[in-house]
Structure 1
Amino acid sequence: MKIIASTLNAKYIHTNLAIRYLKAYAAPDYDVELAEYTIKDPTLNIVTDLYNKKPDLIGFSCYIWNIEETIKVIEIIRKIMPDVKIVLGGPEVSYDVIHWLNRLPEINYIVIGEGEETFKQLLDELNGNMELDKVLGIGYLKDGKPVINPVRNKVDLREMPSPFRFEEDIPHLSKRVIYIETSRGCPFSCQFCLSSIEVGVRYFNREKIKEDIRYLLDNGAKTIKFVDRTFNISRSYAMEMFQFLIDERRPGAVFQFEITGDIMRPEVIDFLNKEAPAGLFRFEIGVQSTNDLTNELVKRRQNFEKLTRTVRMVKEGGKIIQHLDLIAGLPEENYDSFRKTFNDVFELEPEELQLGFLKMLRGTGLRISAKHFGYTYMDHAPYEILGNNVIDFDDIIRIKQVEDVLEKYWNDHRMDRTVKFLTSQSFDTPFDFFQEFGTYWEKQNWSRIGHQLEDLFTRLKQFLSEKNIKDSDLAEGLMKYDYLINRRYKPRKAWWDDIVERKTRAELYEELIKEGKFMNDLNLNERELYKHTQIEVFPFCIKTYQQTGNIIPQTSFGIIYFEPADGSPTIYPLDTIIVQKKTVS
C-alpha cells in the first residue's frame, strides 16, 4: 500500500508530531509518507498534491483549527479518488465518533484516541484478512450503521520509537517549531480542556528523549516546544531536564514549556535565575481566571497568590519570557469579573498576555453541561461561545475589541513604555485603556483596513487627542521615545508634530561638535555625527526618566544615536552632554 499521513497545520512554521509518531510506529513494516500543508493553502492545491502521490490510503490528523478545511479536502479527494481509503484521527474526531461517521460518509475509518498502535493494526488488517472487528480503537460504518470497537490499552511510552529521525525533516529543522513530548496526560481536571479526559500522567523514556533533543540540536533545530500539559508536575524531573537543556544548549536555541505556575517551587526558579542563560527558556502559564467560583465550577485548582509569586520571581530574574493565558466566557465570569481577572494578570506585566475565548470542545465536561450554564456556541469548529447566563454577545464583542488592541499594543512590544504609562496613569485600570481604545478602533473601522507601523502611533495619538485623555502630551512623548528606541535606522519622516526647529537643531549640533566629548566617546567624526544621530524634543526630563523611571513634565532634548553596527539605538539626554542655556531647560 502507498500510505500518506497528512495534516493541515495552522502555520507553515509548525510541524505535526502525531503523524511522525504514526510513521515511526508503522516502520519498518510500512513506509508511511508525510504530507503537511497549512489551513491557508488553497484546497485544490492540497488535493492536487495528494492526488499526484497516488496513495492507497490517506490518514488525516484532525484538530479544531483544521477540521473544516480538512473536510473540504476530503470531499474533493473522494470524488476524484473513489477507491482511496480515508482515515481520520486526532482529538477533534476522537470524542464524538458517531457524529463524524454520520457527517462524513466520504471517510472509511476513525482512529480513536492514542493512535500509534491502532493505526498500525488497522494497516495490518487492510493489508491482510480485513478482520476489522479485531482492531481496537476504531470507528467505521458497517451496513450503514456506526460501529465503534472497544478502545485499546494505552501504549507503553517508554518503548515508543523516535519520531524525529527522518532524513526528509533535517533541512527544515532550523525553520520550524519542533514539538516534543516527554509525558502524556494531565494531573488536573479542568472541564474546558481535553486533557481532563485522560486520567494520570505517563512518561517517555528520559534518556531516549535526551538523545532526541541532542539529535535535533545537532541538526539545526532552533525552537523546541514541549507539549506536556504540565511540564513541572514533578519537581525532580523538571530540574533534571532544565539542567540537561542548559548543558546541551546551542546558540540561538529556545525551549518552550507549559508550566503550572502555582506549583512551581521557589528553589526551581532560583536555580533558573542563576543558571539559565537569558532567552533560553519560555514559559506558557495558563491563568484563565482569577474568579474563585469560576475555577471551582470548572474543577480548576489554582492558588493565584502562589502563581503571582512564581511570575514575579521569574520576571525579576530577567532570564525567561513569560506568556500568560486568559479565557473569557468561563462559567459565572461576567464582564465585570473578567475585567478584574484581566487587571489582576496584567498587573504582573507578562511579556505576552493572550486573551482567548472559551471553546466548547467535544468530549469536555463543560460542553456536556453547557445547558446548565446557558451556553450558546458555534455549531462547527472552533465551537467558540456566543454567550451564557452571565455574559451576552454584546459583552463578547467588547472583549474582542480588547483582544485586538492588546495584541497590537502590548504583545507586539512596539510601545511598552507608553502602554505602561497609560494603564497606570491615564486610565482607571489597564482593562479600561484597552477597552476604550479597542472600542474607538472599531468605530473608526480600522479593523477592516491594514496598517503600517507608523499608523499604530498616529491612531493612538488620534484616540488620546479626541478623547481628551489625561496627560496625553506625556504619553505622546513616550510614544516618540518608544518609536525611536525600537527602530534600527533613522526615520525618514516623523509622525509627530513637535519637530525641533532647524535653528535650534543647528545650535545643538554646533555645541556638541564644539564640546567634543560625545563624539569622542562614540568615536564619531562630524560627518558620522550627522549621519547616525537625530535630535528630538520630549515633554519630560529624559535624564530623570532613564535614571528612575519617573516622569517629570518639562521640555528636554535628546540625541538618538543609531548604532551602525547592530542598529540598536540609544537616547542620550543632551543636558548631560552640553550646557545650552538658550534651548535646554
Structure 2
Amino acid sequence: MKVVLSTLNAKFIHTSLALRCLKAYSGERFDIDIAEYTIKDPSMNIVSDIFSRKPDVVGFSCYIWNIEETITVINMLRKIMPDIKIILGGPEVSYDMDFWMNRVQEVDFIVVGEGEETFHHLLAEIEGEGKYHMVFGVTYRKQREDRVEVIVNPPRPKLNLNELPSPHRFQEDIPHLGSRVVYFETSRGCPFSCQFCLSSIEVGVRYYDMERTKADILYLIDSGAKLIKFVDRTFNIKRDYALEIFGFLIENHRGCVFQFEITADIMRPEVLDYLAEHAPPGIFRFEIGVQSTNDPTNEAVQRRQNWMKLVRTVMKVKNSQKIDQHLDLIAGLPLENYDTFRGTFNDVFELRPEELQLGFLKMLRGTGLRRDADKWGYIYMDRAPYEMLGNDLMPFGDIVRIKRVEDVLEKYWNAHRMDRTLLYLVDRVFPSPFDFFQAFGDFWERSGWQKIGHQLEDLFSRLWAFLDSLPLPSVKDKGSLTTEREDTSGDDPFSFDAIIAVAGARLDPDVVFGLMKYDYFLNHNYKPRKTWWDFTMDKAVWSGYMRRLAERPGEVSEKFAALGLNERELQKHAVIERLPFDLDMFLATGEVNKERHTLLAVLYAIEAGNSKPKARPFMLTMEAGSEAFSL
C-alpha cells in the first residue's frame, strides 16, 4: 500500500515536523513518501505530482494558513483518483470534525490530536479488515442502509514521547538542511490556559529524554542544519531542562542558529546570567508572546503575566547584546480598545525589540475565546484564518487603522533599514511610537502606496514625503504633548490633528534629513549608484573635500589615516555629505549642535578577512560656515 504524506507549507524554506513524525512511526511497515509544497504552488502542479506517485492513501496536514488551498487539491484528487483514501490531520481539523466531514465530502478520515499511533492503526485497518470503530482518535464515514453517517471515535490517550522514533534521521532530508528551517520539539503541551490559543487545551507538559534530544540536535548540526526552531510552547518552563539544553547548544552550535518561544516573566535570573556570560552572540533568538499589557484583557483571556518581570528579562537579554528578541502583540483581544492597544504597543516598543510582530486575533476552532465570542460581541471571518473583524470595543474601522500601523512597522522597524532615523522620530518628534507609525501608515494609505511595490530608495523618499507634509511652524518651542489620551473623538484636545501639529513643531528637518542620509549609506555594502535626494554639493567643493581627506586623513581619525587611501581610491570607493549639525555628537549624546557641522564620509572597500565590502562611516567635525576643504 503506497502512502503519500503531504502538506502545503507557508513558505518554501519551511518544513513539516508533523509529516516526519508520522513517517518515522509508520515508515518501517508502510511505503510512505513525504511530499511538501507551498500555498503559492499551482493546484494543478501539486495534484500532478501526487498523481505521479500513484498512492493508495494520501494524508494532508492542515493548518489555518493552508486549509483552503488543501481543499482545492483534495477536490481535484478525488475526481481523478476516485478510489484513493484521503486522510486529514492537524490542528485545523482536530475540532469540529462533523463540520469538516460535511464540508469536504471527499475526505474519508480525520486523525484527531497526536497522530503517530492513530495514523499507524488507521493505515493497518485500511490495508486490513477496515475495523475503523477500533481506531481511537479517528473520525470516519460509515455506510448505513439509507445514508452515510459520520462517526467520531473517542480520543486516544497521550503518547509516551520516549517510545516515539526520531523524525530527524531521514537521509533524503540531509541535502536540504542548510537551506530550510528545521523544526524541533523537546516537549509537548503547555502549562498555561490562554483562551485564544489551542495550546491551552492540552493540560500538562511532557518531555523527551534528554540524551535522545541531544543526539538528534547533534545529528542535525553535523548534517548541515543552519537554523533550528524549537516549537515547544514554553521552552523555559522547566529551568534545569532548558539550562542544560542551552549549555549543550553553546558547546556544540558550530554556527547553527536556534530559535525558542519563551515566557519571559518566568525566566530565572540565573539562566539569564548564564546566557549573558556564555552564549556566543547571534546563535540564539527568543520569541516572546506579550500579546497585551492591559491587565483586564489578560485576566479576561486567563493569561498570567508579570509585566515588571517580563521587562526585567527582556532588558537583561538586550543589554547582554547576545540574543535577538522577537516580541508579539495581538490586536483585538477582549476589553482592549484602540487607546488601550496604543498603550500596549508603546509599552512594548519602549523595550526596543529587534522585531515587534503585530498580529490580529484569530478565532481558532476549539479555543475558549471562540466559544465565548458572543460574550464580547465578536464578528470574524467564517473561513480560515478566522481573523476578527470587530468586537464591542474595537470596531472594524479601528482594525483597519491598526493594520496600517502593522504595514509600516514591518517595512521600517522590523526591517531595520533606518533605526537611527526612526528612534529620533519616535523619541523626539511624535508623542509616542504608535502615533508615528499610525500617522505614517495613514499617509501611506492616502498616497496609494499600498498598491505599488517599492525599492530601498522608495522607502526613504516616502518617509521624507510624509515628514515634509507635516506643518512646520516658525516657532519650534511648542509645549510637549502628553503621551496619554483619554479619547480619540473630535472633542479630545489631543486629537490626531493635534498629534500631527505637535510633531511638525518638534521636527528639525536638518537633523532628520542628515540621519536619513546616514542610514541610507549604511544600508549598502557597495557604493550606491544613486541617492533618493538631489545631490547639490558643487563639484569643486566635492573635489576639495576628497583632496583634503586624502592629504590630511589624520584630521578624521587614526583609523582612517591607517587605511592609506589616495584621492583616486576615495573617489572610487567613498561617498561624502556635509551635514548642518554635529552628527558624531548627536549619535553619542543625543545633543543637536548646529554650530559645528559634519563631513560624513562612508567608505565601501573590502576589509581583510571579508569577501565583500562593508559600509564604514568616518566623520570630520568642522565649524559652521568654514571652508574646510581648502588647504
Correspondence for 1:532 among 573, 576, 587: 573
2:613 is matched with: 567
Q: Do the aligned residues in 2 keep the contact of 1:534 with 1:560 (CA within 8 Å)? A: yes
Pair 1:3-2:3 in alignment:
yes
1:446 is matched with: 449
**Shift in Å at residue 318 of structure 1?**
0.2
Correspondence for 1:508 among 526, 530, 545: 545
**Shift in Å at residue 316 of structure 1?**
0.2
Pair 1:245-2:273 in alignment:
no
* Aligned equivalents of 2:373, 2:164: Cα separation in 1: 37
Specify the code of the residue in structure 2 equivalent to 1:124.
A
**Structure 1 stretches lacking a partner, 5+ long:** none
TM-score, structure 2 normalization = 0.90
Q: Do the aligned residues in 2 keep the contact of 1:9 with 1:37 (CA within 8 Å)? A: yes
1:86 is matched with: 86
* Aligned equivalents of 2:564, 2:468: Cα separation in 1: 41
**Shift in Å at residue 386 of structure 1?**
0.3
**Shift in Å at residue 523 of structure 1?**
2.9
* Aligned equivalents of 1:53, 1:98: Cα separation in 2: 30
1:351-403 Cα offsets, whole Å, 9 max, x none, are: 00000000000000000000000000000000000000000000000000000
Correspondence for 1:173 among 157, 177, 182: 177
Secondary structure, counterpart of 2:140 in structure 1: strand
TM-score, structure 1 normalization = 0.97
Correspondence for 2:260 among 257, 260, 264: 257
* Aligned equivalents of 1:454, 1:475: Cα separation in 2: 16
Correspondence for 2:520 among 468, 483, 500: 483
2:509 is matched with: 472
**Shift in Å at residue 553 of structure 1?**
3.7
Runs of at least 4 residues of structure 1 off by over 4 A?
Answer: none
1:150-161 to structure 2, matched below 5 A, reads: 150-161=154-165
**Shift in Å at residue 281 of structure 1?**
0.0
Pair 1:195-2:199 in alignment:
yes
1:279-290 to structure 2, matched below 5 A, reads: 279-290=282-293
Q: Do the aligned residues in 1 keep the contact of 2:261 with 2:286 (CA within 8 Å)? A: yes
1:296 is matched with: 299
1:400-449 Cα offsets, whole Å, 9 max, x none, are: 00000000010000000011110011100000000000000011110110
Q: Do the aligned residues in 2 keep the contact of 1:511 with 1:580 (CA within 8 Å)? A: no
**Shift in Å at residue 579 of structure 1?**
12
Correspondence for 2:366 among 347, 363, 372: 363
**Shift in Å at residue 543 of structure 1?**
2.3
Correspondence for 1:348 among 348, 351, 361: 351
**Shift in Å at residue 507 of structure 1?**
1.6
Percent identity at matched positions?
Answer: 59
Specify the code of the residue in structure 2 equivalent to 1:506.
S
**Shift in Å at residue 581 of structure 1?**
3.7
Please say which of residues 257-266 and 469-478 is displaced more in the overlay: 469-478
Specify the code of the residue in structure 1 equivalent to 2:627.
K
1:383 is matched with: 386
**Shift in Å at residue 520 of structure 1?**
3.9
**Shift in Å at residue 549 of structure 1?**
4.2
1:205 is matched with: 209
* Aligned equivalents of 1:127, 1:444: Cα separation in 2: 61
* Aligned equivalents of 2:394, 2:583: Cα separation in 1: 45
* Aligned equivalents of 1:323, 1:116: Cα separation in 2: 32
Pair 1:135-2:135 in alignment:
yes
Pair 1:20-2:20 in alignment:
yes
**Shift in Å at residue 552 of structure 1?**
3.0
Q: Do the aligned residues in 1 keep the contact of 2:550 with 2:565 (CA within 8 Å)? A: no
Correspondence for 2:534 among 497, 504, 514: 497
**Shift in Å at residue 267 of structure 1?**
1.5
Secondary structure, counterpart of 2:237 in structure 1: coil
Secondary structure, counterpart of 2:369 in structure 1: helix
Alpha-carbon spacing, 1:582–1:443, altered in 2? closer, same or farther (3 Å): same
Alpha-carbon spacing, 1:549–1:254, altered in 2? closer, same or farther (3 Å): farther
Specify the code of the residue in structure 2 equivalent to 1:524.
L
Secondary structure, counterpart of 2:627 in structure 1: coil
Secondary structure, counterpart of 2:98 in structure 1: helix
Secondary structure, counterpart of 1:474 in structure 2: helix
Q: Do the aligned residues in 2 keep the contact of 1:486 with 1:568 (CA within 8 Å)? A: no
Q: Do the aligned residues in 1 keep the contact of 2:8 with 2:66 (CA within 8 Å)? A: yes
Alpha-carbon spacing, 1:543–1:153, altered in 2? closer, same or farther (3 Å): same
Alpha-carbon spacing, 1:553–1:386, altered in 2? closer, same or farther (3 Å): farther
Specify the code of the residue in structure 2 equivalent to 1:109.
F
* Aligned equivalents of 1:494, 1:28: Cα separation in 2: 60
1:183-236 Cα offsets, whole Å, 9 max, x none, are: 000000000000000000000111111111111000100000000000000111
Pair 1:230-2:234 in alignment:
yes
Secondary structure, counterpart of 1:247 in structure 2: helix
**Shift in Å at residue 303 of structure 1?**
0.5
